[in-house]
Amino acid sequence: MCIRTLLFSTLVILIVVNVDEPALSAEPRKTHPARSPSPTPANISSSGQPGQAIGTSPAIGAPIAIGALTPDMLTRLEIFLDSRSFGPGKIDGKAGEFVGLALGRYQTAQEKDSQPGQLDSELQQELQKIDPAYIEYTFTEADQNWIGPVPRRPAALAKVKKAIYRSPLDFLAERFHSDPDFIRKLNPKMKFDQLRPGTVVQVPNVRPFQIETISPVPDVPPRPEFSQRIIKVDTKARMLDLIDGNRILVSFPITPGSQRLPAPVGTWKIVKMTILPNFRWDEAMLQHGRRSGHYYLIPPGPRNLVGVVWIGLNKTGIGIHGTDNPDSIGRSVSHGCIRLANWDAIRLAAEVTTGMTVQIF
């Protein structure tokens, strides 16, 4: 959602967030450890098989194409890539375009001489080590507090205190980086609209996106150690890459504006970073790039229209940000900005700094 201005509480600029002693929750990550994801919350436990079988893994052997993988192996590949911040898009056990793009970028980063779209025997073995591929998650009362009736229209949304999740399935799908239909597939008998605290749900084994651990930060301090990194946004492939020297550190799928208001091609700088922003919804700004006096201030939360992160560029109203709708990633629906899933946006925010270069092409 984009061409816009964001309102800062004291300077009437990009963002407004009220917070005492904020702290960015995500720690900078400089390497990609070769390990399976290891969720940490107490209400997550190991699980054998998902509620409904999604295929069995083939014997390890010669290189195999993504399109020839079973749903189980595809899910393991998505989990593997996601855990290393090479985002495959929503985890769904399908051979979508972002899975191939993420795999290719991961292989390039690891200097693997692999055929495009192919998994060599070493990677196949890595996927088999993801044990278990599915885990049990116990839905809690604290989780329930992040769910409620949240309107979609800006005028009504501006009246709520926090832009929280709209349903238990909405909460779980984002928490485990998944397509809602995939969560349903893993839990075929579950009625998600009746989910209650104490219910055990089968989910993919990824490190969860924990909205409750994210603290508001109106203006993230500079991190000079990241200043030489470059963000490259490929609007045709719809992928964002973070480059350090000649190495890809992270790579995530994006929505790069729309046909009517595409992301601005060129070289820009990051001038502002905010965690859990308020969003100044101004239709005149969104449609015509002109600020007006008729606007709504949308409160922070995962269903804020710019999600949980705003990374502002030195191009008026343009930034890299999260989303209130993970289904929109990859589609041409934003107003000139670069949109990511919230679980990817918060990871990106931990790896970049103001003053960095952003190349959009």
Q: Note the helical H segments in the chain.
A: 71-83, 97-109, 121-128, 141-144, 154-157, 168-175, 180-186, 283-288, 342-349
Instruction: Tell me, yes or no, if 2 is annotated catalytic.
Output: no
**Residue that is written with structure tokens 């495959």 in the block:** 88
> Which residue among 2, 177, 335, 337 is the active-site one?
337
Are residues 280 and 304 in contact, defined by beta-carbon separation less than 8 angstroms?
no
User: Would residue 321 show up in a list of annotated catalytic residues for this protein?
Assistant: yes
Gap between the Cα atoms of 36 and 130, Å rounded: 5
Nearest partner of 304 among 287, 327, 322, judged by Cα: 322
What Rg value do the Cα atoms of the chain yield, rounded?
20
Q: Which of 2, 177, 321, 335 is catalytic?
A: 321
The single-letter DSSP state of residue 305 is T
DSSP state of 13: S
d(CA 342, CA 254): 11
Q: What's 326's DSSP letter?
A: G
Dump the DSSP string for 187-247.
STT--GGG--TT-EEEEESS----GGGPPPBSSPPP-GGGTT-EEEEETTTTEEEEEETTE
> Closest Cα partner for 358 from 321, 330, 325, 308?
321
CA 179 – CA 49 distance, rounded (Å): 18
Contacts of 145 (CB under 8 A, 6+ apart): none
Q: Give the catalytic positions in this structure.
A: 321, 337
